């Protein structure tokens, strides 16, 4: 009985390690992707070549509910921070390659420089802007 329980725990731990590895590799493969066909103010800023941080969230996501107030504070402080509500704008998420929330993307010169999936601290987000 103890052996079966140990195997189940090892399978669960292995699954979580695999998922973290998948998320990390997914972020690496998006680096360098050219962003095109974005409308509105975000599109103008992306095509200006400036360094931007784009935060993708869903109103029903628990991690997003914790992270959104931090991003809102950063938006007040930095004009280079944008947030995209996936419930209202899935087209923009598709262009960036976002498949889960929360996702934070750093874009510079119209290309993805960094792609991070999952909740992060405010300090981490600030470091992404530097």
Give the tens place of pLDDT for each residue, 39-62: 889 999 998 989 999 999 999 999
Neighbours of 93 (CB within 10 A): 20
Of residues 35 and 126, which shows the higher confidence score? 126
List the domain range (segments joined by +) for residue 37: 31-129
Q: Looking at residue 14, what is its pLDDT?
A: 82
Q: Report yes or no on 97 lying in a domain.
A: yes
Distance separating alpha carbons of residues 114 and 128, to the nearest angstrom: 8
| Sign of the Cα pseudo-torsion (23, 63, 78, 92, in order) | positive
Q: Report yes or no on 122 lying in a domain.
A: yes
Q: Looking at residue 75, what is its pLDDT?
A: 94
This prediction's pTM = 0.79
Q: Report yes or no on 10 lying in a domain.
A: no
Q: What percent of the chain has pLDDT over 70?
A: 92
Nearest Cα to 27, choosing from 127, 99, 120?
99
Residue 85: is its pLDDT beyond 90? Answer: yes
Query: For residue 46, what is the domain's CATH number?
Result: 3.40.30.10
Count structural domains, the chain: 1
Q: Looking at residue 121, what is its pLDDT?
A: 93
Residue 26: is its pLDDT beyond 70? Answer: no
Give the tens place of pLDDT for each residue, 100-122: 899 999 999 999 999 988 899 99
Distance separating alpha carbons of residues 93 and 38, to the nearest angstrom: 10
């Amino acid at each position: 009985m103890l052996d079966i329980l140990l195997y189940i725990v090892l399978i669960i731990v292995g699954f979580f390690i695999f998922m973290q590895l998948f998320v990390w590799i997914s972020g690496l493969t998006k680096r360098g992707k050219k962003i095109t066909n974005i409308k509105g103010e975000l599109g103008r800023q992306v095509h200006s070549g400036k360094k931007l941080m784009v935060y993708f969230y869903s109103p029903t996501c628990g991690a997003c509910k914790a992270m959104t107030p931090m991003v809102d504070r950063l938006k007040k402080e930095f004009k280079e921070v944008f947030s995209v509500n996936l419930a209202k704008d899935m087209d923009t998420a598709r262009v960036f390659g976002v498949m889960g929330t929360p996702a934070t993307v750093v874009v510079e010169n119209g290309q993805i420089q960094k792609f991070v999936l999952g909740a992060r601290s405010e300090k981490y987000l600030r470091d992404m802007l530097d």
